[in-house]
């Protein structure tokens, strides 16, 4: 890939941020994929990403129709494929995500844009893979790689990213890539944002080092039948090894 494609990818990151967060993309991750509201975890603690057991049964919530916002053009462009500054890896499509501390070991598929411009989301059936947004850098490249997953499924309250909010700084995330390398990322922080005040640029702008963002929904409101929040995990590349 050349400079033209790098610039194109950088522009797509900016537009994708608006589409994902404000026009029904990432805001639909985990959005009431099944008719019966999820029940809380059985560990004794209330999971903030799912509604309580007393929530009334309801149909799936409607997609978020908030119009997209204009993203400031302050994000640096994504790196050119094949470049590896400061220990970064060359471009290679991610194929698997492992987060042992919260029981994640799943395939990843590329996600593009729907005909209306919104970003695709992964399938919602049980056992479905997560998704890497293909117009973000690949995990291990310099920049912010975007990985999406559902908090529930079409038939269960436990989706791929059901326990995402349990991650803590210092825990590790491993992304296996098509070139048979695995990037190991260390969690920096986990934030929960209300959609109305979501810091779009902070979450989606390209970092100056290899990073990943794992994103799902949370904050289910049984009155509106919508998820009101997004959980975002920030992590940076600390090592890599053959896969």
What is the residue-level pLDDT of the chain in tens, covering all 243 positions?
343 444 444 444 444 443 443 333 343 344 334 323 333 332 222 232 333 232 333 333 333 333 232 223 333 344 333 334 467 999 999 999 999 999 999 999 999 988 887 778 999 999 999 999 999 999 999 999 999 999 999 998 899 999 999 999 999 999 999 999 999 999 999 999 998 898 888 888 899 999 999 999 998 888 887 889 999 999 999 999 999
77 domain-assigned = no
Cα–Cα distances in angstroms (integers) from residue 23 to residues 19, 49, 65, 116, 119, in the given order:
5, 21, 6, 10, 9
- pLDDT at residue 144, rounded to an integer: 97
Coil, helix or strand at residue 59: coil
pLDDT confidence of residue 59: 35
Q: Global pTM? A: 0.71
What is the rounded radius of gyration, in angstroms, for the C-alpha atoms of the chain?
A: 17
pLDDT of residue 86: 61
d(CA 212, CA 209): 10
Q: What is the pLDDT of residue 25?
A: 39
Cα–Cα distance measured from residue 63 to residue 34, given in angstroms and rounded to the nearest whole number:
14
User: Could you tell me if residue 147 is inside a domain?
Assistant: yes
Q: What is the CATH number of the domain that holds 106?
A: 2.40.260.10
Helix residue ranges, H only, 102-227: 200-204
CA angle 124, 34, 96 (to 5 degrees): 20
Q: What is the pLDDT of residue 140?
A: 98
In a domain, 78, yes or no: no
The confidence score (pLDDT) of residue 70 equals 27
What is the C-alpha to C-alpha distance for residues 151 and 36, in angstroms, rounded to an integer?
A: 14
Is residue 144 assigned to a domain?
yes
Based on the structure, what is the number of domains in the chain? 1
- 56 within some domain: yes
State which H helix or E strand residue 3 sits in: helix 3-22
What is the predicted pLDDT for the residue at 117?
Answer: 78
How many beta carbons lie within 10 A of that of residue 34, not counting itself? 17
Does residue 49 contact residue 112 with C-beta atoms inside 8 Å? no
Question: What pLDDT is attached to residue 1?
Answer: 35
Tell me if 129 is assigned to some domain.
yes
What is the torsion angle, in degrees rounded to the nearest 10, for the CA atoms of residue 181, residue 203, residue 25 and residue 64? 160
Q: In this structure, is residue 96 part of a structural domain? A: yes
* Domain assignment of residue 81, yes or no: no
- The per-residue pLDDT for 11 is 42
Enclosing domain of residue 206:
3-72+87-242
- How far apart, in whole angstroms, are the C-alpha atoms of residue 5 and residue 21? 24
DSSP lists the bridge partners of residue 237 as 185
99 to 1, 31, 168, 204: CA distances (angstroms): 30, 22, 12, 21
């Amino acid at each position: 890939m050349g400079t033209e494609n790098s610039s194109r990818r950088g522009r797509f990151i900016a537009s994708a941020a608006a589409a994902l967060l404000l026009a029904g993309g990432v805001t639909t991750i985990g959005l009431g994929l099944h008719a019966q509201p999820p029940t809380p975890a059985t560990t004794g603690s209330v999971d903030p990403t799912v509604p309580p057991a007393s929530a009334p049964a309801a149909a799936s919530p409607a997609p978020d129709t908030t119009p997209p916002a204009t993203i400031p053009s302050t994000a640096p462009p994504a790196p050119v494929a094949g470049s590896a500054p400061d220990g970064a890896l060359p471009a290679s499509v991610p194929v698997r995500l492992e987060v042992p501390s919260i029981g994640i070991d799943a395939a990843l598929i590329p996600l593009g844009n729907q005909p209306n411009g919104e970003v695709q989301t992964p399938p919602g059936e049980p056992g479905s893979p997560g998704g890497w947004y293909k117009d973000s850098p690949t995990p291990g490249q310099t920049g912010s790689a975007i990985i999406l997953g559902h908090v529930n499924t079409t038939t269960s309250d436990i989706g791929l990213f059901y326990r995402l909010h349990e991650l803590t700084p210092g825990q590790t995330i491993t992304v296996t890539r098509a070139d048979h390398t695995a990037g190991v990322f260390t969690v920096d922080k986990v934030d929960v944002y209300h959609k109305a005040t979501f810091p779009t640029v902070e979450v989606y702008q390209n970092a100056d080092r290899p990073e990943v963002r794992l994103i799902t929904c949370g904050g289910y409101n049984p009155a509106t039948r919508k998820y009101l929040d997004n959980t975002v995990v920030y992590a940076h590349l600390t090592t890599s090894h053959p896969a």
